[in-house]
Amino acid sequence: MSSPLPFSHPPGSAERGSTGRRVLIVGGGTAGITVAARLRRAGVTQVTVLEPSATHWYQPLWTLVGGGRARLESTRRPEARVMPEGVNWVRDAAIGVDPGTRTVITAAGREIGYDFLVMAPGIQLNWQGVPGMAETVGRDGVSSNYAPEHAPHTWDLIRELRSGTAVFTQPTGPFKCGGAPQKIAYLAADHWRRQGRLSDIRIVLVIPDPAIFKAPTWVPLLERVAGRYGIEVLLQSEMTAIDGARRQLTIQDNAAGEKQVLSYDLLHTVPPQSAPDWVKASPLADPASPFGYVEADRRTLIHPRHPNVFALGDAANLPTSKTGAAIRKQAAVLVANLLAAMDGRPPVSAYDGYTSCPLVTARDRMLLAEFDYDLRPTPTVPVIDTLKERWDMWLLKRYGLPALYWHGMLKGRM
């Protein structure tokens, strides 16, 4: 392997103080860019982002792409445009980390040294995790809003369906954007209602959890939404196989220990998810996580065994929903604690588990679910009752939040 990059001095030899320490951020997605921007605004000069992709995606809008309410083109920017000024971008992929020597190994065979490491590599979509999923997604009546190449196809399938059975599934285990599997079901149902087809279409929503939503406050609200559309909600159930040739799927009822084979005309599926494989195999993975997520203190976001390593975002093993809103709060806490560590001080900030899930319930209505580690409501929008389906909340989802993302969050301003 080549000598350490991008800084040649050995670990620990950087100047004292926050401006002289080498910070390496693994991942240039939402979490990585937000942290990089905040560090630069705080005056940290030696910041490197390791990210292979040339495109940066605003993924929360993919549900609206699949529901015919947004264009895919509006969800992407060149990665170079969102990279903060003064940050060293290494366009390569991480494949390993050695916290002992303070280096990250890349796919190109480079070793990048660091004094402080921020792990934000994102999440891995395991399309092979359900037999038949990888072979059928994008064809055989199957789509998924969890990939940009498939989200537009979801809308094609919804528009073309006149009658039959539409199935929407959610995977077992942690996954990003916890409300997305059911939001597309509501968008589809609302479209079919407006087209006068709803009575001709059986809609099945498969959820592995004991309730329709993780936070109890929103459970009765979403049950009413599902009931309004006549959606059959199968709780404590999961899809275990897809047969595209027959257009059938197998559903396991985990409560009753029974299986059923269901024929479908449209299937929107969400792949099982985990930390990237290299993270699972690394010394930074949480031994308590069967999905290989990075170990981190739930309050300080500091790795408990490697105090110069921090983690946030989808790859961090934090007991909260994996959303962009969670990352926004995590980034502020992480940067404050990282700056303190650079100056030899203890952590100064704590993350309370805040996350937010904009629950689109129709083509022009939305509920806003905001809650903390204890699943208690933590509303941040003044005056407005976000427990009601609202048109102004839909405008926030469609237009307000993307603008705040591109021009605020990724700039380190919020």
Who contacts 399 (Cβ-Cβ below 8 Å, separation ≥6)?
A: none
Type of residue at 401: L
Who contacts 237 (Cβ-Cβ below 8 Å, separation ≥6)?
A: 206, 207, 208, 251, 252, 253, 254, 255
Q: Sign of the C-alpha dihedral, residues 215, 218, 223, 225?
A: negative
Q: Tokens representing 25?
A: 């951020």
SS3 letters across 25-50 = EECCCHHHHHHHHHHHHCCCCCEEEE
Q: Where are the beta strands (DSSP E) in 278-384?
A: 309-311, 355-362, 365-371
Measured distance CA(23)–CA(3) in Å, rounded: 17
- Which residues face 111 on adjacent strands? 4, 105
> What is the number of alpha carbons within 13 Å of residue 228 lying toward its C-beta?
16
Does 17 qualify as catalytic in the annotation?
Answer: no
Q: Sign of the C-alpha dihedral, residues 404, 405, 409, 413?
A: negative
Catalytic choice (166, 315, 357, 367): 357
Choose among 100, 118, 107, 112: nearest CA to 31: 118
> 322 — phi, psi (to 5°)?
-90, 95
Catalytic choice (36, 177, 184, 409): 177
Choose among 220, 242, 194, 5: nearest CA to 113: 5
**Residue 37 near residue 129, CB atoms below 8 Å:** no
- Which residues face 56 on adjacent strands? 77
Would you give the end-to-end CA distance of the chain in angstroms? 39
Does 357 qualify as catalytic in the annotation?
Answer: yes
Residues tagged active-site: 177, 357
